[in-house]
Amino acid sequence: HGGSFLLRIEDTDQARYVEGAENYIIESLRWCGLEFDEGPEQGGPHGPYRQSERKDQYQAYAGQLISSGHAYYAFDTSDELDKARKDAESEGRSFSYDAGTRLSMKNSLSLSEDQTQQLLDSNASYVVRFKMPELSKLVEDEDMIRGKVSFNTTDLDDKVLFKKDGMPTYHLANVVDDHLMEITHVIRGEEWLPSMPLHVLLYRALGWSKPLFAHLPLILKPQGKGKLSKRDGDKMGFPVFPLEWIDPVSGEISPGYREEGYFPEAFVNMLAFLGWNPGTEQEIFSMDELIRAFSFDRVNKSGARFDPEKARWFNHQYLIGKSDEELAGLFEPELIEKGVKPPAIENLVRIVSLVKERVSFVSEMWDQSFFFFTAPDSYDPKVAKKRWKGEVPEFMSQLAVSFDSYGGGWDASELKAKVSDLIQEKEQNFGGVMNALRLVLVGGSFGPDLFTIVEILGQKEVVTRINKAIDVLGK
RNA sequence: GGUCCCUUCGUCUAACGGUUAGGACACAAGAUUUUCAUUCUUGAAAUAGGGGUUCGAUUCCCCUAGGGACUACCA
């Protein structure tokens, strides 16, 4: 839409302050490629960007709401509120601080003006509550995703707008800041839908025009009931956080998509398709394509179950879309970590091209290609039993001699022709020999084209491996 | 419990009154192949149930059921 993207930190709950959380949010957005134009670090015309630094404004607006009759002081202690809740519960009802109960509570509506003033003067702690209109009134608003959504004011309660610690609640801070910071679109999770009428009423009470609302569907657990939680990821082995997070207090580590080896493009693409689709059969979208294709009318209303398998698939798609050179660059550090000296870059590029189709993550390339870098230290016993028998060991030693004395061009097709001739000459079974040679070179029954492996390993190494296998597996 | 939102293959979803209900993931079978994968082909798989409205409902309305969210001086 060509607008500005502001990052605002909603840190009005001082009790829940977490060291490093703000930085984590910023780093996560950047990793995803979501660049914001204004925020706490770089500043901008709508600052400050932390609500804790905008504290002064909220009190003024709370005061304005009180003078205009849209809000009131409440002096109830938390003990008194607990008691009211308990009393209601014992009668089988649930307590709601609303038009029906507010006059029996301790607030500037039930108290006289003098009493209220006295409490205020004596520095009694108080909160400011929104005075929900008591007449049954329909609050309707247009949600960009859900269309018309309606609530009745008689079902709504008097929410706290301003806390006794001098900080606003989300409801007040969000409305005030969105107005002051000229926010045009409020796009948030569906869990906020029940708060929409309160927010609409607040905009009206303050005499402001409201932004557009869009309530997005939630991400649900892969199995079972409810929305996706960190526990589901731990249980099923997938991350729920974009970046690894280490809790500064408990030290608990939550894995991240970045650390698991997901490409940010794949992560964003996967997420974009949870609850939205372009209406075409295209599934792989770059950030630019996503920006161009996205529209609210193609966002679904119902929650979307997260599918870890599909997430893997997205990563696979991006992996095979990358150049062999780029992947080789990403794979090289893994080799060093495994204690392997990386081969010449052109060889590594070639190896990568052979295995990229087979994996979803760079980290999986090692399992598919280790035999290019290090001789197998064991032979799959099942394969050995099946393939290393009869005349095979004898033929293998002849093959070793033949490879050793080979003086022609060392490339896959020539070698294949040469070995085929030898097989025919000695009346061997082609498939049987191939499988045995594969066992010798890679240690099992897997891997890309065998003669390509032979070519890449080189004359000396191939001979060494054959002789080693004869030693280990016997003649 | 109350309020609000939602409901198409196992999962993500397409079809904005007329389609043999389409695609993708996962699954199964077959083909290819020197192995394992890849790839290709094929298959199985859905309109929650019941009422309306209509010539005609996946599509519009109502009820039921199921799911989800909220119900804090948290966001």
Question: What is the model's pLDDT at position A286?
Answer: 95
A432 has a pLDDT exceeding 90: no
**CA A352 → C1' B30, Å?**
30
Question: What is the model's pLDDT at position A388?
Answer: 87
A224 has a pLDDT exceeding 90: no
A469 has a pLDDT exceeding 80: yes
- High-pLDDT (> 90) share of chain A, %: 82
Amino acid at A394: E
Question: What is the model's pLDDT at position A128?
Answer: 98
Q: Which residue has the tokens 């280490």?
A: A246
A407 has a pLDDT exceeding 90: no
Q: Closest nucleotide to residue A432 (Cα to C1')?
A: B34
Stated pTM of the model: 0.94
Give the mean model confidence (pLDDT) for residues A118-145: 91
A255 has a pLDDT exceeding 80: yes
The first and second tokens of residue A342, run together, are 């990386």
What ipTM does the predicted assembly reach? 0.95
A188 has a pLDDT exceeding 80: yes
Task: Dihedral sign for Cα A277, A27, A248, A259, please.
Answer: positive
- Phi then psi for residue A196, to 5 deg, are -60, -45
Contact indicator for A120, A128 with CB cutoff of 8 Å: no
| HEC-encoded secondary structure of chain A | CCCCCECCECCCCHHHCCCCHHHHHHHHHHHCCCCCCEECCCECCCCCCEHHHCHHHHHHHHHHHHHCCCEEEECCCHHHHHHHHHHHHHCCCCCCCCCCCHHHCCECCCCCHHHHHHHHHCCCCCEEEECCCCCCCEEEEEECCCEEEEEEHHHCCCCEEECCCCCECHHHHHHHHHHHCCCCEEEEEHHHHHHHHHHHHHHHHHCCCCCEEEEECCEECCCCCCECCHHHHHHHCCCCECCCEECCCCCCEECEHHHHCCCHHHHHHHHHCCCECCCCCCCCCCHHHHHHHCCHHHECCCCEECCHHHHHHHHHHHHHHCCHHHHHHHHHHHHHHCCCCCCCHHHHHHHHHHHHHHCCCHHHHHHHHHHHHCCCCCCCHHHHHHHCCCCHHHHHHHHHHHHHCCCCCCCHHHHHHHHHHHHHHCCCCHHHHHHHHHHHHHCCCCCCCHHHHHHHHCHHHHHHHHHHHHHHHCC
Residues 151-170 in A having a C-beta less than 7 A from any atom of strand B are: 151-152, 155, 157, 160, 163-165, 167, 169-170
A97 CB and strand B closer than 7 A: yes
A438 CB and strand B closer than 7 A: yes
A87 has a pLDDT exceeding 80: yes
Q: Closest nucleotide to residue A358 (Cα to C1')?
A: B37
Question: What is the model's pLDDT at position A1?
Answer: 82
Question: What is the model's pLDDT at position A441?
Answer: 95
Residue A217 preceded by cis peptide, ω within 30: no
Give the pLDDT band (50/70/90) at residue A456: very high
- Cα–Cα distance for residue pair A420/A304, rounded to 1 Å: 55
Q: Write out pLDDT tens, residues A284-334.
A: 999 999 999 999 999 999 999 999 999 999 999 999 999 999 999 999 999
Question: What is the model's pLDDT at position A453?
Answer: 95
Q: Give the Å distances, CA to CA, from A45 to A48, A181, A187, A247, A354.
A: 9, 9, 22, 33, 52
- Cα–Cα distance for residue pair A358/A365, rounded to 1 Å: 8
Question: What is the model's pLDDT at position A276?
Answer: 96
Contact indicator for A295, A317 with CB cutoff of 8 Å: no
**CA A270 → C1' B43, Å?**
28
A116 has a pLDDT exceeding 80: yes
Question: What is the model's pLDDT at position A225?
Answer: 87
Q: Closest nucleotide to residue A196 (Cα to C1')?
A: B4
Give the pLDDT band (50/70/90) at residue A447: very high
Q: Closest nucleotide to residue A303 (Cα to C1')?
A: B68
Give the pairing type, strands A138-143 and A245-246.
unpaired
Q: Write out pLDDT tens, residues A1-48.
A: 889 999 999 999 999 999 999 999 999 999 999 999 999 999 999 989
Give the pLDDT band (50/70/90) at residue A242: very high
Question: What is the model's pLDDT at position A466?
Answer: 93
Q: What's the mean per-residue pLDDT of chain A?
A: 93
- High-pLDDT (> 70) share of chain A, %: 100
A430 CB and strand B closer than 7 A: yes
- Phi then psi for residue A216, to 5 deg, are -80, 145
Contact indicator for A36, A5 with CB cutoff of 8 Å: yes
Question: What is the model's pLDDT at position A6?
Answer: 97
Give the mean model confidence (pLDDT) for residues A142-164: 94
Give the mean model confidence (pLDDT) for residues A49-55: 96
A465 has a pLDDT exceeding 80: yes
Q: Closest nucleotide to residue A163 (Cα to C1')?
A: B73
**CA A90 → C1' B50, Å?**
39
Q: What positions of strand B are covered by protein, i.e. any atom < 7 Å from a CB?
A: 1-8, 10-15, 23-26, 34-39, 67-75
A138 CB and strand B closer than 7 A: no
Residues 439-458 in A having a C-beta less than 7 A from any atom of strand B are: 445-451
Residues 172-191 in A having a C-beta less than 7 A from any atom of strand B are: 190-191
- Cα–Cα distance for residue pair A236/A320, rounded to 1 Å: 26
Q: Which of A269-278, A297-306, A392-401 comes out lowest in average pLDDT? A: A392-401
**CA A312 → C1' B21, Å?**
28
A81 CB and strand B closer than 7 A: yes
A435 CB and strand B closer than 7 A: yes
Give the pLDDT band (50/70/90) at residue A135: confident
Question: What is the model's pLDDT at position A83?
Answer: 93
Q: Please state, as a whole number, how many other Cβ atoms lie within 10 Å of the Cβ of residue A282.
A: 10
Question: What is the model's pLDDT at position A134?
Answer: 84
**CA A382 → C1' B34, Å?**
18
Burial of A48 (0-12, 13-18, 19+ CB in 10 A): middle
Give the pLDDT band (50/70/90) at residue A424: confident
Burial of A201 (0-12, 13-18, 19+ CB in 10 A): buried
Give the mean model confidence (pLDDT) for residues A198-203: 96
A326 CB and strand B closer than 7 A: no
The first and second tokens of residue A86, run together, are 């308990």
A275 has a pLDDT exceeding 90: yes
The first and second tokens of residue A270, run together, are 């996967």
A76 CB and strand B closer than 7 A: yes
A137 has a pLDDT exceeding 80: no
Question: What is the model's pLDDT at position A159?
Answer: 98
Residues of A classed as catalytic: 230
**CA A148 → C1' B55, Å?**
32
Q: Closest nucleotide to residue A96 (Cα to C1')?
A: B71
A93 has a pLDDT exceeding 90: no
Of A364 and A230, the one with more pLDDT:
A364
A230 has a pLDDT exceeding 90: no
**CA A279 → C1' B15, Å?**
10
- Cα–Cα distance for residue pair A436/A466, rounded to 1 Å: 10
Give the mean model confidence (pLDDT) for residues A120-130: 97
